[in-house]
Structure 1
Amino acid sequence: MKIQAKVLSTTFRNHDNGWSVIKVENTKNKLAMVAVGNLPPLDAGEFLDIEGEWFLHPRFGKQLQIKSYKMVIPEDGEALIKYLSGGMFPGIGLTTATRIVDMFGDETLDILDTQSEKLSQVKGLSGKRLQKFIIAWQEAKNSRETFLFLHEHNIIGSLAAKIWQNLGHETKNILSDNPYIISNDISFSAFSKADLMAKNLDLDPLSHNRFAAAMLYTLRKESQRNGHTYLPMDQCFAKSCSAMNLPINEDVEENMQLALETAVKNVQIIRHPQGLSFPEIFEAESTIANWIQNAAEKPVPELIETEVLQKHIDSFMQRQDIDLDPLQMEAIINAMQKNLLVITGGPGTGKTTSLRGILHLADLCKLDVSLAAPTGRAARRMSEITDRDAMTLHKLLTLNPDADSFKYEPMTTLESDILIVDEFSMVDTWLTYALIKALGPKTRLVIIGDHDQLPSIGPGNILRELLSHEQVPSVELTQVYRQKGVSDIVENAHRINAGKMPHLEHGTNFHHASVGDSIEALRNLKRIVSSTGKKLVEGEIQVLTPMHRMELGTQALNKHLQNWLNPHGEKIKIQGQDWRIGDKVMQLKNDYEHDIFNGDMGTILRYNAKSKKMTVVFEHKTVILENKNLQDLTLAYACTVHKSQGSEYDGVVIVLDYAHFNMLQRNLLYTAVTRAKEHVWIISVPGALETAVRTQRINRRYTRLAILLSSTDDFMDWMDS
């Protein structure tokens, strides 16, 4: 089916992929209809030539699925009048539009495009009003031509919009010469689209532009996916050739070397003794290393004598009716006397008590303390155990939630005497860089975390690298304190961390079910949740699994759990997602407007179909979300172990399947078990639990921070050369 249609309104548009729901009017029969497809941002009054086919949506009825489209200007006089007066062009109403078309007739479009000075002949169109119209017309013309050019090269949606925003009316000229500007400067993940455009434009497949772009894409992709902050040169070359589908031979390698020289000269890529980095991550690591070096060398402001601090510790122990071990005392004193301190330790080793001790001494010494954590749940937990305000690092640093991570720029300077950041194993290089840039000159930094947990999802391995260097003051708490009611969990967590199987017999808090297959695993899971259902929905118990996909991944488990735990909830289908009133949900992105953050859990209270707004009760507040916000929400009866990091629950149900073999490793299981305060249930197929305990496959991350800290003088000499 082919029609020409006038855009009446945009009902919904996904800014990430351009998927849109628009209301249009068929210019031939004046019938209004709903059309859906991947589209650029459209204004009411624009015209499209559409090719598509009808389909029946189960909720919203008959819709036109757009297969292809072209932004056009109608040539018919009546339609052109409607186009000009449709609101896109300031100052042009129905009367003026009619006068333009009546005066120039069939030549109207040619006049508008190439002889706009003649428009001054139109009654009522002159001066600033005329100039605004001419500018708006040319902008619309450039936009149409640009989006058509991009669409011809299969670039649509948000990527096309970003390109237009960055390159404007020069888009076609710039990209025709070097399409790799797209992946270099706008969206690195679009390298394959830029490469296809270069091929369609018949550009040289051995050009330096292509090779340099492939290397930059490879460095950024490996940083995002595998946490590397650099790659050895040979690996970068090999992965870049793979991205270009080129064999590695002498000619290709020689070309790669020449392209690298140009990229280094243009500061597109940084070459250093370890290999190759892209500039932003190189600057981030170097800045962190320099700050640590300065923190080690500069004197602590208003240093408090150890004897005074020891008296304060004695008062803290008396007040709390506890005895601190020597390592806890060392941690508390060092927090007062060092510009930087790292405190680490496993579950039950006294990190929380040490934190409370630091706060007690800071109060007595009249020092101002700020508390922060990587996620909203971790920050609220920090508040609960300290009875003080704590916030996410993103909120503390007032980072732009929509910015790319390598563009994090703190909008504030922290003036506290001490900043304490908990759950630091989750903090990556980008966030550490932003934190370092925000610290005031007198602010001391205390980092708390368990280095045996999963590393950050983002690049770097900051906590482990800090602990690996003697220049960084650190205290590792090792004394395990038996805690009433949770001794099985703490003991087994330490056994897992040591590569030993947990004790599974006769445990009061630690339970295990060995099952034959995924079907039996689901039966056992249903049995557990049947007895703990209310607690699971309310967030006191959480189902954890290593991955999103497969039969026992989050996607499948959430569907089962939704049916088991919320079978009668009113059903809502929005943007292809099945929700029910009463569903347990999780926020996936930081949303400062609604004060909800990545990892926050809530429950759907109601949905207003008329206003298209959903009310969700989160742990700390109730918010009303529009449909456009719901793409950042997901069912959360089950979540990945990575997503649970930084959270604590009364109990966790851990589902281990051999289909998740690549994720079955010790630090993942250890992280999962240490999320629980009172109960752990493990459901595992044969061999899955043993594999997870036995496998210490900590994927190597190529990072430079520890190297820089170990050779600061050599590094500074190299920077100056």
Structure 2
Amino acid sequence: MSQATCHTNPEAILQLLQDWTEAQWLRALDLSFARFLLSLEPQAPALLPLAAALLARLEGEGHTCLQLELFLHEPDRFLSGAPELITEIRHILAAWSQPQQWMDILSTCRVVEQIDRTQPKPHDDDSETPLVLDQGCLYLRRYWRDAQCIARTLTEQVSRRALNPIPADTLKPLLAQLFPADTSGSQENLPWQKIACALALRGRFTIITGGPGTGKTYTAARLMALLMAQHNSSSLRIVLAAPTGKAAVRINESLHNAIAQLPPLGQQDLATAFARIGPARTLHNLLGARPGTRRFRHDRQHPLDLDVLIVDEASMIHQEMMAALLRALPEHAQLILLGDQDQLASVEAGAVLADLCNHTGSYDSATCTWLEETCNCTLEADRRSTNPLASGVVRLQRSHRFNAGIGALADAVQQGQTSLAIQTLHQEAVLQWYEAPEIAQILQLADSHSGYRPLWENIRRGSGKNIEEHALWVQQILEQYGAFRLLCALRQGPWGVAGINQAIENHLQETGLLKTQGLWYAGRPALITRNDPQLGLSNGDIGIALPDPQGKLRVYFPGNDPLPRAILPSRLKYSESAWAMTVHKSQGSEFLHTALILPPQDSAVIRRELLYTAITRAREKFSLFAPKAGLEQAITRRTLRMSGLLSALQNSAN
């Protein structure tokens, strides 16, 4: 089939898409979407099915739109696959190499709406065309709608002032009491935790971003105390949430520890006030997810019953979830997001936190004056900005948690300094690098004192029949499991999660450490792979199968209660072994010792953000199984997700 035929014949393009699907470059879903649009518009130009299939494929890889200029200028940056296939795709795209060509052709299609930015657009968009063209970006309708919702809602939020603002002269001594060490107003050592609280008490939208150990939950605890002082603490409804059950448990623990260290604040009974705040919930649970649909019980017509919403691990929130959350937020409510913008973006489409943090550290003159009055610090002139969203974003700078070696490695990777990262790996005692990795080395580490060996020996010993002794034993097992973790960049293959888990189970069986026959065995860590509202379990929760006092196998899950929950294995329909897990699944967790496994062959999915996220899961020790060339490639390779959220924010601000 000639390229000329493809460029003029939609059916020829469909045949080409069929070939790409059979080569597993496209998903069946991508091909079906192209066919669906062509069925709606049989006389459509040949570009339409090609654009539809590419857009659907890119959405599956985390992009929320197709930015025409960026994509057509560097298609190889977004297309991966067999070299001969990519060459063929580039040749096809060569006939439509200019963004204006795409806009001129696609704007003639009935299934595409082109947004006219010279005309006001109604807030409640009721158009039904599957595709939208807006400022050089091609969207699936729902992703365009979500981006507009996020931009409009957050722009409105940041422009509103707090309901009961504290005067600067009242707030200043309260901040000094909660942050006694932050007395320096120098440019080099600004008190960002104090600044975060001051900004949050002025408006209704705040992002507190920063790496692990920079004090996000420490700051959030003090902010909650100030909010209670600002309002009547007995009536203020503060709700905590996180994207996953594991992250929800972690913020509960972190806030509990931070609250215990709070100094008295005036006449406020902080202990009683904090006790009224319930445990953090998952976003799905908070919004009331309707099984089998994309809908939630709470929306604009049925908003959440709260005054302040604090969401941790915000980097994990995908665009569709963020839009749903904002639609359910009461108009008067205050939203506070905590997260690390440099971590891996959400598994699903969008990089919302990274987009929102694009304006970090830029404040307008009114905001700078407020910070001078309340925090006694003067910001540099280049931190001033007229962008309204920027006044709600604070990046915490100093880490107080990491071993210095782990922190230095994380910084080098985050900044893309390959030579420094390699030098740090060689010099720091808490960093262990296997430059010529073998599966046997991974098993040796797992079967060591700094790996899973203490856990395996404790499982073999078992517990007494006494209920109290058994409960203590289960708690010890869960804590030991949480001390070490193997993380993989890939899911499949001998170096992926599936292969490493199988290798460990084979090792346990061969050495007699644990009997691993069958799916369920004593000691098996089980990671839940689908939400289960009936059991109260979320995707990402991990339990461990252990005998109960009567010797019957149960799966024990940590939670907000002092005692772990026990569930029959037969009730867990969707789970997988979790001696090793993906870096994505590890988000929201922290381990004393973390080991990252990269495959011997380089993979385009292994990027800087994945390395940074894995490194920052480790608190005391980090081990790396990776060839030098693959490590260097990963550090230099950045994740770039095409998104129209920044454009939508700029439009909403104007």
Short-chain TM bin: 0.5 to 0.7
Q: 2:237 aligns with which of 359, 368, 371?
A: 368
Distance 1:271 1:520, change over 3 A: same
The question of whether the paired residues in 2 share the 8 Å contact of 1:351 and 1:477 is answered with no
Which residue pairs with 1:698 in the alignment? 638
**Which amino acid counterpart does residue 441 of structure 1 have in structure 2?**
E
Alignment of 1:635 onto 2:556 = no
TM-superposed CA distance for 1:440, in Å, is 0.6
Which residue pairs with 2:56 in the alignment? 220
Which residue pairs with 2:171 in the alignment? 309
Which residue pairs with 2:540 in the alignment? 599
The question of whether the paired residues in 2 share the 8 Å contact of 1:471 and 1:709 is answered with no
Classify the secondary structure of the residue corresponding to 2:212: coil
Classify the secondary structure of the residue corresponding to 2:545: strand
TM-superposed CA distance for 1:363, in Å, is 2.5
The question of whether the paired residues in 1 share the 8 Å contact of 2:487 and 2:582 is answered with yes
Determine the C-alpha separation between the residues in 2 that align with 1:452 and 1:529: 27
Which residue pairs with 1:553 in the alignment? 496
| Aligned residue-pair number | 507
- Bigger drift between 544-553 and 500-509 goes to 500-509
Classify the secondary structure of the residue corresponding to 2:604: helix
Matches within 5 A, 1:207-246: 208=44, 215-232=51-68
Distance 1:447 1:204, change over 3 A: closer
CA RMSD of aligned residues (A): 4.1
The question of whether the paired residues in 2 share the 8 Å contact of 1:408 and 1:431 is answered with no
Alignment of 1:454 onto 2:290 = no
- Bigger drift between 583-592 and 522-531 goes to 522-531
**Which amino acid counterpart does residue 599 of structure 1 have in structure 2?**
G
Render the CA deviation track for 1:2-46: whole Å, top value 9, x for unaligned. Answer: xxxxxxxxxxxxxxxxxxxxxxxxxxxxxxxxxxxxxxxxxxxxx
- Bigger drift between 440-449 and 387-396 goes to 387-396
Distance 1:539 1:521, change over 3 A: closer
TM-score by length of 1: 0.62
TM-score by length of 2: 0.68
Which residue pairs with 2:528 in the alignment? 587
Distance 1:259 1:529, change over 3 A: same
Which residue pairs with 2:287 in the alignment? 397
The question of whether the paired residues in 1 share the 8 Å contact of 2:451 and 2:484 is answered with no
Which residue pairs with 1:410 in the alignment? 298
Which residue pairs with 2:487 in the alignment? 544
Render the CA deviation track for 1:42-99: whole Å, top value 9, x for unaligned. Answer: xxxxxxxxxxxxxxxxxxxxxxxxxxxxxxxxxxxxxxxxxxxxxxxxxxxxxxxxxx
Which residue pairs with 1:441 in the alignment? 331
Render the CA deviation track for 1:130-179: whole Å, top value 9, x for unaligned. Answer: xxxxxxxxxxxxxxxxxxxxxxxxxxxxxxxxxxxxxxxxxxxxxxxxxx
Matches within 5 A, 1:498-537: 498=415, 499=417, 500-501=420-421, 503-504=424-425, 507=428, 509-515=430-436, 517-527=438-448, 529=451, 531-534=453-456
TM-superposed CA distance for 1:515, in Å, is 2.9
Alignment of 1:646 onto 2:566 = no
- Bigger drift between 512-521 and 437-446 goes to 512-521
Alignment of 1:350 onto 2:215 = yes
Q: 1:496 aligns with which of 396, 401, 413?
A: 413
Determine the C-alpha separation between the residues in 2 that align with 1:600 and 1:326: 36
Classify the secondary structure of the residue corresponding to 1:448: strand
Classify the secondary structure of the residue corresponding to 1:358: helix
The question of whether the paired residues in 1 share the 8 Å contact of 2:304 and 2:328 is answered with yes
Classify the secondary structure of the residue corresponding to 2:603: helix
**Which amino acid counterpart does residue 211 of structure 2 have in structure 1?**
G
Which residue pairs with 1:681 in the alignment? 623
**Which amino acid counterpart does residue 375 of structure 1 have in structure 2?**
T
Classify the secondary structure of the residue corresponding to 1:315: helix
The question of whether the paired residues in 1 share the 8 Å contact of 2:205 and 2:334 is answered with yes
Determine the C-alpha separation between the residues in 2 that align with 1:335 and 1:210: 51
The question of whether the paired residues in 2 share the 8 Å contact of 1:399 and 1:409 is answered with yes
Determine the C-alpha separation between the residues in 1 that align with 2:347 and 2:594: 21
Runs of 5+ unmatched residues, structure 2: 1-26, 80-84, 114-127, 185-189, 257-276, 360-386, 457-476
Which residue pairs with 1:66 in the alignment? none
Which residue pairs with 2:7 in the alignment? none
**Which amino acid counterpart does residue 529 of structure 1 have in structure 2?**
G
Determine the C-alpha separation between the residues in 1 that align with 2:596 and 2:612: 11
Distance 1:257 1:688, change over 3 A: closer
**Which amino acid counterpart does residue 63 of structure 2 have in structure 1?**
G
Larger Rg: 1
**Which amino acid counterpart does residue 267 of structure 1 have in structure 2?**
T
Runs of 5+ unmatched residues, structure 1: 1-187, 608-612, 715-721
**Which amino acid counterpart does residue 639 of structure 2 have in structure 1?**
N
TM-superposed CA distance for 1:602, in Å, is 0.8
Relative contact order (alpha carbons < 8 A, sep ≥ 6): 1 or 2 greater?
2
Q: 1:615 aligns with which of 554, 574, 578?
A: 554
Classify the secondary structure of the residue corresponding to 1:396: helix
Matches within 5 A, 1:143-154: none
Determine the C-alpha separation between the residues in 2 that align with 1:197 and 1:391: 39
TM-superposed CA distance for 1:475, in Å, is 4.3
Distance 1:233 1:656, change over 3 A: closer
Determine the C-alpha separation between the residues in 1 that align with 2:292 and 2:36: 28
TM-superposed CA distance for 1:468, in Å, is 1.7
Percent identity, aligned pairs only, is: 24
Which residue pairs with 1:130 in the alignment? none
Determine the C-alpha separation between the residues in 1 that align with 2:221 and 2:444: 43
The question of whether the paired residues in 2 share the 8 Å contact of 1:524 and 1:683 is answered with no
Q: 2:131 aligns with which of 257, 269, 272?
A: 269
**Which amino acid counterpart does residue 504 of structure 1 have in structure 2?**
L
Render the CA deviation track for 1:683-708: whole Å, top value 9, x for unaligned. Answer: 3334333443x31x223222111112
**Which amino acid counterpart does residue 680 of structure 1 have in structure 2?**
F
Render the CA deviation track for 1:349-408: whole Å, top value 9, x for unaligned. Answer: 22232112112212222343211111111111100011262111111111224324xx45
Q: 2:156 aligns with which of 276, 281, 294?
A: 294
Matches within 5 A, 1:653-664: 653-664=595-606
Higher strand share: 1
The question of whether the paired residues in 1 share the 8 Å contact of 2:195 and 2:394 is answered with no
Determine the C-alpha separation between the residues in 2 that align with 1:258 and 1:280: 18
Classify the secondary structure of the residue corresponding to 2:596: strand
The question of whether the paired residues in 2 share the 8 Å contact of 1:227 and 1:460 is answered with yes
Determine the C-alpha separation between the residues in 1 that align with 2:224 and 2:70: 49
